[in-house]
Amino acid sequence: MASLGSTRRTFAPWADPAAKPYIRFENVTKRFGDFTAVDDLSLTIYEREFFALLGASGCGKTTLLRMLGGFEQPTSGRIFLDGQDMKGIPPYRRPVNMMFQSYALFPHMTVEANIAFGLKQDGMPKPQIAERVGQMLKLVKLEQFAKRKPQQLSGGQRQRVALARSLAKRPKVLLLDEPLAALDKKLREETQFELVDLQYELGLTFIVVTHDQEEAMTMADRIAIMDKGKVLQVATPAEVYEAPSCRFVADFVGSINTFEGSVTKTGSAARIRDRSGTEFRVADAGEAAAGDTVWLAVRPEKLSISRERPADAANALDGEIWDIAYLGDMTVYNVKLDDGRIVKASTINSIRRLEDALTWHDRAWVSFSADAGVVLTR
Amino acid sequence: MAGTWGRFNVVALALGFAFLYLPIVLLVIYSFNESRLVTVWAGFSTKWYVAMLNNRGLMDAAWVTARVAFLSATIATVFGTMAAVALTRYTRFRGRLLFSGIVFAPLVMPEVITGLSLLLLFVAINFDRGFATVTIAHITFSMCFVAVVVQSRLITFDKSLEEAALDLGATPVKAFFQVTLPVILPAVIAGWMLAFTLSLDDLVIASFTSGPGATTLPMKIYSQVRLGVTPEINAVSTVLIGVVTVGVIVASLVNKRQEVLRQREAEIG
Amino acid sequence: MVRLFSMIGSRLVIAVPYLWLLVFFLVPFFIVFKISLSQTTIAMPPYLPVFGLEEGISGFIRNLRDLSFENYLWLFQDALYVNAYLSSLVIAAVSTLLTLLVGYPIAYGMARAPATLRPLLLMLIILPFWTSFLIRVYAWIGILKPEGLLNQFLFALGVIDEPLIILNTTSAVYIGIVYSYLPFMVLPLYAALEKMDYSLIEAAQDLGCPPLAAFWKITFPLSAPGVIAGCMLVFIPAVGEFVIPDLLGGSRTLMIGKTLWDEFFFNRDWPVSSAVAVVLLLILVVPIAYFQRAQARAREQES
């Protein structure tokens, strides 16, 4: 597994200008009546990539997936798969398969018959079908359930039948619509890793739609974050988290503190002054020009909390401890600044019991370094 | 508190079911009456069943009715299922509003109007009335009942099942016959049974649209009832009730058995 | 090629039932309307003019001139028809109310019955609906006759000295309609009541509402869609009912379905019976449209 991890790290075709995209959405728009589900969207996905479409419900991510599957036709724009324009090609002629959110297992067929369904449509000879079905059952560890009907399986087993059925035809691309949404938390976490291993072993391209940011970050090589039919950022999980492109992304993935202010000094040792006059030291203000309104975004774990102001802190704010959420592995403090703003700071509970722990209504300082935050211009 | 409400419920149900079933039970009992008078009990006898079987006119009418019911129910099931699919799957086509109107209107249309209008159509196009016209009339109104039964099933049908079939390479026609139809089959069968009994039952529309040589059983019963109540009619009625009751009970038991099996297996699995 | 087939397939699915219903349901209404404007004659078919193709366009126009609204004037001048319409509406309305009164406690009892018992009760309600309507009406003749089972029973109890005359009166029609249409009332009521969350009643009682008040303030309003659907399913067909007034009602019970039947089969007056049908349809269009809209709204709310 160690070697697997290292190979995965070097997999980055999107950074290679010579790499050819496998799937291309070109200015795709989809309208349902007055509602624009997907708005002039362009996106490229590479072969063997595990790609996640992340967003709240109604952001257009499922519509995008269904257009690739052939269940919806774009109102305008084009979709290419392996260089071929997909316009007018019906779902049953596309080399992609979909795993449905409801699993859509045929209730009147056994597990075996469900998996064989797609192969039969292709007119594959019976012995070969039997062999392939056997392989698939083994792959998802359901050999002894071959003769069962879907109603006789648990949620996790059904999910695996759906997976086996959509993989049986060896599609070039597997589309997964909220594949883990119906599973409980523990099973979901296990299955995330199984899916990643499977994708790597089979060498397929996976496109997964999810509203769960943890799920997307765990599984995907790259994540596209969508809102109102547009893609806001396409990047690796680490980039999305540490260098969000805008406030929406910063806020959607994890929790974050944002301080609105204007740039008073640009360049490498920039300064940002907020409305209550506090001046923040920032290592890099990026493109922002002096006088621009910007947002300094800092993740709670990048903040330290202490009774006294740390002597070496680049930025420090003081306030009153307003709320404490003890989560076991860490503790989140909500500190209310004197101007009423709430700042979140989290600390890892690496020591079992803290003597002199901070408590409600204590005065406390939150501090962070000059490179702890990211400056957002929109 | 719960006790008094419970008692109220039980009494309401007991009275309600007595009201529903007592007339039928009495009808059945008096079909075994020795006397010619329906209302005076004179001992047990099956002679009215023998009389019924020997009544040539009655038996001919029963045969006509059985054929009309079977044929019209089968065609109505095909057409009604098509109409249900059209209404649930194609949300936009020209004339959809009119279509849904004429699918649902026959459900509440007074039979005298449906019967009269069909008769006038047949006369206008010079179509001889008989077996064919009764069958056409029965297809027309019972297909709408089938459409309603099948449509209510299709509304809850998970459309992604059909999409999954398409995704796996099945053409729309194959997807319908291999996935959709098997799943909605119980509703289609229920629709057929409904169409069959509606046809078996119909007096008014058949009276308008039938011609010489195609007298149906309800028409025959009606003409005899108008002459007076006889135990022979009770006997015919008892047979009809028996056939329908057994049919419905068997159908629902089969249905229930499958459900129980499915549940039990699900618990094991 | 495959797409072409599936396109033809989807057209067929719409076209076949659509055309069938157009030809055998909608077109006949226009024929009824046309004949209602014709005149009675002793011939086959017994009305004039008959639009024949052989007469050509000039004949068609001449025939159009022969159409008139005379039959409708006749309907409104003769008190028989006006009274028949009015009394049909009254009888249908009264029987609908009676059916609601009888059906509501049954539906309520079913909805509150143990969940394991409910499918059986449901089936017991549906079962009579499957058995012949004509037979169920017929069964009441033997019960309601002057020397019938009801009178025998009441004699035996000593409640009455002389037989109650029920058969061939309007009361018998009420009984017949309530009895025959009861399942149509109970099923939508049950569907509405069964869906209702019983904790709503508990919440009302918890907030200080006594049981009977909780029924009127919570249960009944929430079952309103079922009440409306049930009443419409009884009222609309009851207005045009023929079998029940014919077999159970007497000569003094006027109902328009029976009037139409007699006009057609005994007087052989096709134009007048067509006019009767057209007016009946116009009367029923309002409740039918209302019912369909209520149903559509209920479906929307559910989805």
CATH number of the domain where residue A196 is located: 3.40.50.300
Confidence category of residue C275, pLDDT binned at 50, 70, 90: very high
For residues A98 and B164, is the Cβ–Cβ distance under 8 A?
A: yes
A residues 98..137 contacting B (CB < 8 A):
98, 100-102, 104, 106-108, 117-118, 121-122
A197 vs A279: CA distance, rounded Å = 48
Give all strands of the β-sheet with A96-99 in edge-to-edge order: A96-99, A173-177, A205-210, A50-54, A222-227, A230-235
Chains touching chain A through at least 3 C-beta pairs below 8 angstroms are B, C
State the first-to-last Cα distance of chain B, in angstroms, to the nearest integer.
42
For residues A112 and A150, is the Cβ–Cβ distance under 8 A?
A: no
CA quadruple C207, C212, C217, C223: dihedral, nearest 10: 130
Residue B261, pLDDT score:
59
pTM of the model: 0.82
Residue A114 lies in a domain: no
User: Chain A partners of C3 at a C-beta cutoff of 8 Å?
Assistant: 90
Q: Token pair for residue C2?
A: 């495959």
A30 vs A23: CA distance, rounded Å = 18
Residue type, B87: L
Residue B47, pLDDT score:
87
Burial A224-235 (b: 16+ CB within 10 A, else e): bbbbebebbbbb
Residue B2, pLDDT score:
43
Q: Examine the domain organization and report whether A60 and A178 are in the same domain.
A: yes
- Choose one of A233, A249, A265: the last residue of a domain: A249
Q: Could you tell me whether strands A96-99 and A84-85 are parallel, antiparallel, or unpaired per DSSP bridges?
A: unpaired
Element (H, E) at A324: strand A315-326
Residue C181, pLDDT score:
93
Residue A163 lies in a domain: no
For residues A341 and A352, is the Cβ–Cβ distance under 8 A?
A: no
Residue B267 has pLDDT above 60, yes or no: no
CB contact under 8 A, B99 and C14: yes
Q: Token pair for residue C214?
A: 């909780």
Residue A154 lies in a domain: no
Nearest to A121 by CA among A98, A92, A147, A94: A92
Total Cβ atoms within 10 A of residue B173: 14
DSSP for A146-166? TT--GGGS-HHHHHHHHHHHH
Distance in Å, alpha carbon of B176 to nearest chain A alpha carbon:
12
Q: Examine the domain organization and report whether A206 and A325 are in the same domain.
A: no
Q: Examine the domain organization and report whether A273 and A214 are in the same domain.
A: no
Residue A164 lies in a domain: no
Residue A333 lies in a domain: yes
Residue B257 has pLDDT above 70, yes or no: no
For residues C192 and C222, is the Cβ–Cβ distance under 8 A?
A: yes
Residue B262, pLDDT score:
57
Distance in Å, alpha carbon of A49 to nearest chain B alpha carbon:
21
Residue A3, pLDDT score:
42
Residue C89, pLDDT score:
95
B174 vs B181: CA distance, rounded Å = 10
Residue A19, pLDDT score:
84
Residue B269, pLDDT score:
38
Q: Examine the domain organization and report whether A302 and A228 are in the same domain.
A: no
Half-sphere exposure (CA, 13 Å, Cβ side) for B193?
Answer: 21
Question: For the residues B122-132, what does the mean pLDDT come to?
Answer: 89
Residue C54 has pLDDT above 70, yes or no: no
Q: Does A179 touch chain B (CB under 8 A)?
A: no
Average pLDDT in chain A: 88
For residues C220 and C200, is the Cβ–Cβ distance under 8 A?
A: no
C256 vs C272: CA distance, rounded Å = 12
Cα dist. B195→B148, C185, C213 in Å?
Answer: 11, 21, 43
Q: Examine the domain organization and report whether A79 and A214 are in the same domain.
A: yes
C residues 178..207 contacting A (CB < 8 A):
none
Phi first, then psi, for residue C180 (nearest 5°) are -70, -35
Task: Print the domain residue range for A314.
Answer: 256-376
Residue C92 has pLDDT above 90, yes or no: yes
Q: Mapping DSSP to helix (H, G, I), strand (E, B) and coil, where does residue A260 land?
A: strand
Q: What is the pLDDT of residues B157-168, one digit of tens each?
A: 888 999 999 999
Residue type, B44: F
Residue A149 has pLDDT above 80, yes or no: yes
- Choose one of A249, A280, A307: the last residue of a domain: A249
Residue C51, pLDDT score:
66
Residue C196, pLDDT score:
83
Q: Could you tell me whether strands A222-227 and A50-54 are parallel, antiparallel, or unpaired per DSSP bridges?
A: parallel
Q: Mapping DSSP to helix (H, G, I), strand (E, B) and coil, where does residue A6 land?
A: helix
For residues A75 and A29, is the Cβ–Cβ distance under 8 A?
A: yes
Residue B265 has pLDDT above 80, yes or no: no
Distance in Å, alpha carbon of A92 to nearest chain B alpha carbon:
4
C65 vs A232: CA distance, rounded Å = 73
Residue A39 has pLDDT above 60, yes or no: yes
Q: Examine the domain organization and report whether A320 and A285 are in the same domain.
A: yes
Q: Which residue of A96, A97, A106 to mutate against B (max B Cβ within 10 Å)?
A: A106
Q: Which domains does chain C have, with CATH numbers?
A: 77-302 (1.10.3720.10)
Distance in Å, alpha carbon of B61 to nearest chain C alpha carbon:
15
C-alpha Rg value of chain C to the nearest Å:
25
Angle between the B217-227 and B56-89 helix axes, to the nearest 10 degrees? 130
For residues A249 and A225, is the Cβ–Cβ distance under 8 A?
A: yes
CA angle C40, C45, C50 (to 5 degrees): 80
Residue A156 lies in a domain: no
Comparing alpha-carbon positions, the chain A residue that sits nearest to B168 is A118
Q: Does B168 touch chain C (CB under 8 A)?
A: no
Cα dist. C239→A314, C78, C82, C91, C282 in Å?
Answer: 87, 20, 14, 8, 12
Q: Could you tell me whether strands A315-326 and A257-265 are parallel, antiparallel, or unpaired per DSSP bridges?
A: unpaired
Residue B21, pLDDT score:
92
- What is the distance, to the nearest Å, from the Cα of residue C288 to the centroid of all Cα atoms in its chain? 10
C residues 135..194 contacting B (CB < 8 A):
135-136, 138-143, 145, 147-149, 152, 179, 182, 186
For residues B200 and C132, is the Cβ–Cβ distance under 8 A?
A: yes
- Choose one of A217, A234, A249: the last residue of a domain: A249
C31 vs B15: CA distance, rounded Å = 47
Total Cβ atoms within 10 A of residue C143: 21
Confidence category of residue A114, pLDDT binned at 50, 70, 90: very high
CATH assignment of the domain containing A286: 2.40.50.140
Residue C93 has pLDDT above 90, yes or no: yes
Q: Examine the domain organization and report whether A272 and A242 are in the same domain.
A: no
User: Chain B partners of A98 at a C-beta cutoff of 8 Å?
Assistant: 163-164, 167
Please name the member of A90, A106, A154 whose beta carbon is closest to the beta carbon of B179: A106
Q: Does A149 touch chain B (CB under 8 A)?
A: yes
For residues A38 and A30, is the Cβ–Cβ distance under 8 A?
A: yes
Maximum Cα–Cα distance across chain A = 77
B residues 49..78 contacting C (CB < 8 A):
none
Q: Does C3 touch chain A (CB under 8 A)?
A: yes
Question: For the residues A167-192, what does the mean pLDDT come to?
Answer: 88
Q: Examine the domain organization and report whether A194 and A61 are in the same domain.
A: yes
Q: What is the pLDDT of residues B17-26, one digit of tens each?
A: 999 999 999 8
Residue A7 has pLDDT above 60, yes or no: no
Q: Examine the domain organization and report whether A215 and A350 are in the same domain.
A: no
Q: Examine the domain organization and report whether A20 and A46 are in the same domain.
A: yes
Nearest to C236 by CA among C88, C126, C75: C88
Please name the member of B93, B197, B201 whose beta carbon is closest to the beta carbon of C14: B93
User: Chain C partners of A92 at a C-beta cutoff of 8 Å?
Assistant: 2
Question: For the residues C46-67, what does the mean pLDDT come to?
Answer: 69
Q: Token pair for residue B69?
A: 């019911």
Q: Mapping DSSP to helix (H, G, I), strand (E, B) and coil, where does residue A204 land?
A: coil
Comparing alpha-carbon positions, the chain A residue that sits nearest to C3 is A90
Residue B5, pLDDT score:
56
Q: Examine the domain organization and report whether A288 and A215 are in the same domain.
A: no
Total Cβ atoms within 10 A of residue A105: 24
For residues C233 and C185, is the Cβ–Cβ distance under 8 A?
A: yes
Phi first, then psi, for residue A99 (nearest 5°) are -105, 120
Residue A189 lies in a domain: yes
Rounded-to-5 percentages of helix, strand, coil across chain C? 80, 0, 20
Q: Examine the domain organization and report whether A229 and A325 are in the same domain.
A: no
Q: What is the pLDDT of residues C153-197, one digit of tens each?
A: 888 888 888 888 888 899 999 999 999 999 999 999 999 998 888
Q: Could you tell me whether strands A35-45 and A23-32 are parallel, antiparallel, or unpaired per DSSP bridges?
A: antiparallel
Residue A2, pLDDT score:
39
Greater confidence, A98 or A274? A98
CA angle A31, A36, A39 (to 5 degrees): 100
Question: For the residues B43-63, what does the mean pLDDT come to?
Answer: 89
A170 vs A122: CA distance, rounded Å = 12
Q: Mapping DSSP to helix (H, G, I), strand (E, B) and coil, where does residue C4 land?
A: helix
- As beta bridge partners, residue A265 has A271
User: Chain A partners of C2 at a C-beta cutoff of 8 Å?
Assistant: 90, 92
Give all strands of the β-sheet with A304-306 in edge-to-edge order: A304-306, A363-368, A315-326, A330-337, A342-348
Q: Does C38 touch chain B (CB under 8 A)?
A: no
Residue type, A257: N
Residue A276 lies in a domain: yes
Residue C104 has pLDDT above 50, yes or no: yes
Number of domains composing chain A: 2
